[in-house]
Amino acid sequence: MTKALLLGTTGIAVALAVLAFGFVAGSPQIAKAGTAQPVQMAGDTKIDRAEVEGIIRDYLLKNPEVLLEVQDALEAKQKEEQRIAHLGVIKNAKDQIFNSAFDGVVGNPNGKVTIVEFYDYNCGFCKRAIDDMRALTKADPDLRFVLKEFPILGPDSQKASVVSMAFHLMMPEKYGEFHNALLGGQGRATEAAAIKIALSLGADEATLREKMKDPSIPEAFSKTYDLANKLAITGTPSYVVGNEVVFGALGQEVLAEKIEAAKAAL
């Protein structure tokens, strides 16, 4: 991947440099394929295009760190553009992100700072990150932790999340226990596994299965997928903390820093 990026950067650097030589004094000089075209410079000086390309090539070979600088600058520019785009999405979809009726909440439901986790019950990184959630909510009594179901790892994940959402609609006060048991359990999360946990927490099976047919559940999934697409979220876990989108299981310390930054911005 790095080699491909560097090769791409090299091509861009050479192409831009050649074009820069070709657009001197507002007069573009277009080269024809298979020919060595002279480039008109200021005054009567002419430089052969092949000579220009050779000069650039030699320079880049002697100073390859320039390619890394260009790549770093490009990545920084793209990150800043993405950050600005995220601000707009978060502003326009604030209620859907932070206050969806289908999302479970752990920690302080009235906390001043909210962190939203997009997760899949069969995501190994999400399973490990559950300890981060527990530690963060225990350490910060003012933290509101929203759990947004984002089943992207196949039919088992989707079916388990249907059960999860149905259980949340029935018994929201026990959703935290359900979530911890299913995400923190051993083995693959399936519809059967999710139903077993729901029943162990007191859900009536007939009522649960009827609630699983609620058309608002797939509608909620659809809205979450659309939201994730707008936020450029393609994997789990991913988080929204304040006005920032955080990708990946970065650990408790990083998330705590993001939470403190969100508090400072209030």
Percent of the chain having pLDDT more than 90?
Answer: 65
pLDDT at 148 over 90: yes
Q: Which residues of 154-164 are buried (b: 16+ CB within 10 A; e: fewer)?
A: eebbbbbbbbb
Residue-level pLDDT at 77: 81
Mean pLDDT of 122-137: 95
Q: The tokens 């657009």 sit on which residue?
A: 23
For the stretch 93-121, pLDDT in tens is: 999 999 999 999 999 999 999 999 999 99
* Higher-scoring residue by pLDDT: 65, 31: 65
Q: Among 20-24, 221-225, 246-250, which is the least confidently predicted range?
A: 20-24
- Taken in order 19, 20, 21, 23, the sign of the CA dihedral is positive
HSE-up of residue 144 (Cα within 13 Å, Cβ side): 18
Confidence of residue 225 (pLDDT cuts 50, 70, 90): very high
pLDDT value at residue 240: 96
Residues 40-58 as b/e (b if ≥16 CB within 10 A, e otherwise) read beeeeeeeebeebbeebee
DSSP secondary structure letter of residue 3: H
pLDDT band at 80, cuts 50/70/90? confident
Question: How far is the C-alpha of 258 from the C-alpha of 103, rounded, in Å?
Answer: 21
Residue 256 has pLDDT above 80, yes or no: yes
pLDDT at position 259 over 80: yes
The share of the chain scoring above pLDDT 70, in percent, equals: 83
